[in-house]
Amino acid sequence: MNTVTLPDTALSLGAFLRDRRARLSPEPGAQTRRRTPGLRREEVAARACVSLTWYTWLEQGRGGPPSDEVLERLARGLELDALGREVLFLLAQQRPPPIKLAPSPPVAPALQRVLDSFTTSPAIVKTPSWDIVAWNAAASAVLGDYPAASANERNVLRRLFGDPAMKAKLPHWEDDARFALSVFRVAVARAGGGSEAIALAAELQASSADFRRLWAENEVSSHWIGLKQLHHPAVGSFTLETLAFAVDGADGLSMVVFTPASPADVRAVETLIANKAAQASDK
C-alpha cells in the first residue's frame, strides 16, 4: 500500500522536499561520509535536471511555484510513488497533478474482486479516454462482450459513434452520447490535452458526423449519478442507476456501477447473464 509519512515540521513544499531527500540512499560509489542522512541537495538537483540554486530556493520556500515539468522531474528524482507525486503537486501548486491519459496497467486483483462482487450490477473500470480496462460478468452480458472485444472495441466513445448495434440498444442514445462526451472533455482538460485523447477526438471527428455535431456543443460534466435505459431483444427495455467512483491510487481511473433500478430490472439483468453463460457453455 502506498503511504507517505509527512514531515514533523510545518506542512510545506520545502519541508516535504527535505524529508523525501533524507530518505534516499546515495548512489553506489558516492562519497560515504556525510553529516546528514540521504542525498545532498546537489544530487537531487542533478537527478531532476534543475540548477542547485533553484532547488535550494524550493527547499527554502523561495522562487515561486515550480512548473508542472519541474515537479514531474522532482518526483522522478526523489523516487516518489503516485501518492507522493500528488502531495508534491498539492504543496507546490495547491492542486492535484494533471491526469495522465496513458494506457493503464492491469487493475489490481483487489479491485477486480470488488467488480466481481456485484453479481447483478454491471460494473466497469474506465480510463479518462473511456477505454474499458476491467469489467465483471454482468457488464459483459449487459453492456458488451468485453472478453471477445479488441482494445478499440472496448472504447465506449468508438462504440457510441461507430457501432449501430450500440445505438439500437440505447433508447436515449443522444443523451448518453452527449454525457459521455461532456465527461471526456473534462478529462482532456484535466490532462492538459493529452496526445492519446487528442488523437481519439480527431479520429471520431473524421469518422462520425454525430460526434462532430455533439463535440461542437462544448458541454462539460462530471455528474455521475443518474439513470440509464437500455433495450435488448431478449428482455425488452430496462433501467439501471449509474454511479461512478474515482479509483484511489490509480491515475485517472474510475469505476462505474450500473445497479438495476427495480426488481423487474434485476430479473432482466439476471436473464441476460444466464443467456450469456448458456452461450459460453454451448461453444
Q: What are the boundaries of each domain within the chain?
A: 13-93, 109-282
For residue 221, the model assigns a pLDDT of 76
What is the residue whose three cell numbers read 473524421?
A: 206
C-alpha cell belonging to residue 43 = 544530487
What class does CATH assign to 109-282?
alpha beta
Q: Which residues contact 164 (CB under 8 A, 6 or more apart)?
A: none
Q: Tell me yes or no: is domain 13-93 CATH 3.40.1390.10.
A: no
Q: Do domains 13-93 and 109-282 have the same CATH topology?
A: no
What's the rounded Cα separation, in Å, for the pair 23 and 25?
7
Could you tell me the pTM of the whole model?
0.69
Residue 186 pLDDT: 80
Cell numbers for 174, please give them: 443522444
The single residue listed with the C-alpha cell 540521504 is 38
CA–CA distance, 245 with 253 (Å, rounded to integer): 9
pLDDT at 157: 94
Each residue's pLDDT, cut to its tens digit, for the chain (283 residues) gives 455 554 445 578 898 899 899 888 887 655 556 666 789 899 999 999 999 999 999 999 887 888 888 999 999 999 998 778 888 988 898 888 876 655 555 788 999 999 999 999 999 999 888 999 999 999 999 998 887 777 778 899 999 999 998 888 999 999 999 999 988 888 777 666 566 777 888 899 999 999 999 998 888 776 677 899 999 999 999 999 999 988 877 767 889 999 999 999 999 999 999 999 888 777 6
